[in-house]
Amino acid sequence: MTSSPHALISGAGIAGSALALRLAAYGWRTTVLERTPRRRDEGHNVDVRGAAREVLRRMGLEDAVRAAGTREVGFRVIGDDGRAVAEIPMDPTGPTDGPTAELEILRGELARVLIEAAPTSTTFRFGTRITGVEDRGTADGPARVALDDGTTVTADLVVVAEGLRSRTRELVFDDVTVRETGMYGAYLTIPRTTDDDAWWNWFHGTGSRRVHLRPDNLGTTRAMLTFLSGVRGLETLGDADVRTVLRRTFADAGWVAPRILRELGDGQDGAPMYFDAVGQVMAPRWSSGRVVLLGDAAHCPSPLGGGGTSLALIGAYVLAGELASHPGDTAGALHRYEELLRPATDRAQKLPPLRLANPRTRAGIRTLRTAFRTVASPAGKRVTGLLGATPTGAVDTFGLPDYPAPSSSSVATTSRR
């Protein structure tokens, strides 16, 4: 009697949790590592589009994701007077989603849905990370993985499903780079006020600054501040210094920037915040022996192009399906996974010129607002990709393969609430 294969997955986010769920359905034992001490509930709005929605259906999770959604009703461009100059409502009847998808959800909520659906054959180890990988290849036995708690785990497959700047990826892949875009983003959770609505409100300030407010389903509001800069390395600053940079950068930005800066505080009592440089992962290969990259660790397209969450779900589905379709041929399954997914991720990483969507001057902002008015007009509503306002169509046109149906005996779940 052959024992079930074992997958060690680093990262309990969208890609890692989805893969664990799908592999478990095919009879794999899965161990998911997460460096944070608990499930990461934080995170801003993400969406599930195109083929990724079909992935959720096949996993039986579409209704759960819909129930946990943010209820965002559409996208608005805000003028200098605080009023909408263009708006594109969410349209569930359209052939593709617009800027606001039908399935909008907080990143933490989507991770929660996936983790709570995990079966008993999946083990989650929080506060744990990989410190070393000894991989003897796909034919000479399992990989040995050293963890920071001093233990060693053997695995038939090691999956790095971390983020843009994955440290675990660096242990195995020395040829992966991060393409910096020159944009920085601060993501905050702030108290909701009576003036906040259910729209994604987007304001452009001079100097290539943008201010966003978006609704959530938890009684708060999600705020985002983005700006272009020729200075590199701001993401390495300490929290207090980052907040100083944001206060100085957005002091005269306009609209609700003063409100957000008040909530920013001094780092001791300020709003919860995540800050990073916006970049893209350039990985010439996604696998080495028994180690494979998944999600943002493999192909982060950046929030500028959109579709990262959907590609993470699609990638998890394809990787699990290829492994199930090629039992005993890990190398072939990993090759086929990359072969199928690479064209879509390459397309998702093709961004419009950043200056076009982030003008420096008032004249440029007026031109941009005029373009959005055109898109929002009855004659222009069929235009869906202008200026990067909507995610790439890569996830809409991806042809999702059909894989063997999971065994019903391997998908029994237990509550992880």
Q: How confident is the model at residue 377 (pLDDT cuts 50, 70, 90)?
A: confident
Nearest alpha carbon to residue 347 among 386, 314, 299, 313: 299
Window from 136-150, 175-189, 212-226, 308-322 with minimum mean pLDDT: 136-150
Single-letter amino acid code for the residue at 233: G
**φ, ψ for residue 376, nearest 5 deg:** -80, -10
Q: Give residue-wise pLDDT tens across range 17-67.
A: 999 999 999 999 999 999 988 887 778 899 999 999 999 999 999 999 999
Which pLDDT does position 202 carry in this prediction? 96
Give the integer Cα–Cα distance in Å for 387 and 164: 23
CA distances from 339 to 318, 322, 345 (A): 10, 11, 11
Residues 138-188 pLDDT 10s: 656 799 999 999 999 999 999 999 999 999 999 999 999 999 999 999 999
Name residue, tokens 């031109």. 367
The better pLDDT of the pair 184, 266 is held by 184
Report which of 285, 298, 324, 300 is spatially closest to residue 403, judged by C-alpha positions: 324
For 342-362, what is the mean pLDDT? 89
| Tokens, residue 95 | 């052939």
Among 45-49, 221-225, 254-258, 334-338, the minimum mean pLDDT is found in 45-49
- The reported pLDDT for the residue numbered 171 is 94
Q: How many percent of the chain have pLDDT more than 90?
A: 73
Residue 222's nearest CA partner among 267, 256, 187 is 187
SS3 (DSSP) at 283:
coil
Cα atoms in the Cβ-side hemisphere of radius 13 Å centred on 248: 6
